[in-house]
Amino acid sequence: MSQLRYVSVRAYGVVLVAFGIQMVLLYFPVPEVVMQWMRTPALYFSYVLLAAFVWQNRQLRGMWLVAAGLGANALVIAANGGYMPVTYEAVVAAGKAHLVASSAAGALVFGSKDVLLPASQTTLWLLSDIFVIPPPFPVPSVFSLGDALLALGMFRLVPCLFGASGVAPQAAAT
């Protein structure tokens, strides 16, 4: 942990604000009339904050994968009205059917940015939550290509925070 001081992570406070916004939107009950005008702009704002963090830290290893993942997720969410599309079948396959009130298109998945949409009604379907990690895996889930890119980027980034060379070779040469 003492080696953390060797890697300069800039603007980490904006990540905390962005995740704070997303946690409020996902887990705290807000009257529906407030949600209608607040949720989507607040979610987009959180993505702008995350993009600013990525830009400020673009020299770190793996950050380009994080940027690609955030971009893919933001793109599909924006193309589908501020929600990440997922099929009811994928939610069921992940053992998460209890998180939706109904199987109807447009139903929200509690504790996520997801909305139920059939593939035929989804814009940019390949970027939506289409990959399933089913039970009995310890954390069954549905995820997107953007989520996979984010995870890969974090796998590249985290070791850098603990002492490995944290600056990408092209940035170190300049």
Burial of residue 79, with CB atoms counted within 10 A of its CB: 0-12 exposed, 13-18 middle, 19 or more buried: middle
Residue whose token pair is 């001081």: 5
**Of residues 34 and 99, more confidently modeled:** 99
Q: Could you tell me how far CA 137 lies from the centroid of its own chain?
A: 21
Q: pLDDT for 47-98, tens place per residue? A: 999 999 999 999 999 999 999 999 999 999 999 999 999 999 999 999 999 9
Q: How far apart are CA 42 and CA 97, in angstroms?
A: 27
Antiparallel, parallel or unpaired: β 141-143 and 131-133 = antiparallel
Average pLDDT over residues 15-35: 83
Please, which pLDDT band fits residue 173 given cuts at 50, 70 and 90? very low
Is 146's pLDDT higher than 50? yes
**Do the beta carbons of residue 60 and residue 160 sit within 8 Å?**
yes
Burial of residue 28, with CB atoms counted within 10 A of its CB: 0-12 exposed, 13-18 middle, 19 or more buried: exposed
Q: 158 is written with which tokens?
A: 């985290």
Identify the pLDDT of residue 33: 66
Burial of residue 125, with CB atoms counted within 10 A of its CB: 0-12 exposed, 13-18 middle, 19 or more buried: middle
Q: How far apart are CA 21 and CA 49, in angstroms?
A: 10
In angstroms, what is the C-alpha Rg of the chain? 18
Is residue 169 within a helix (H) or strand (E), and if so which, with residue range?
helix 169-173
Is 18's pLDDT higher than 70? yes
- State pTM to two decimals: 0.85
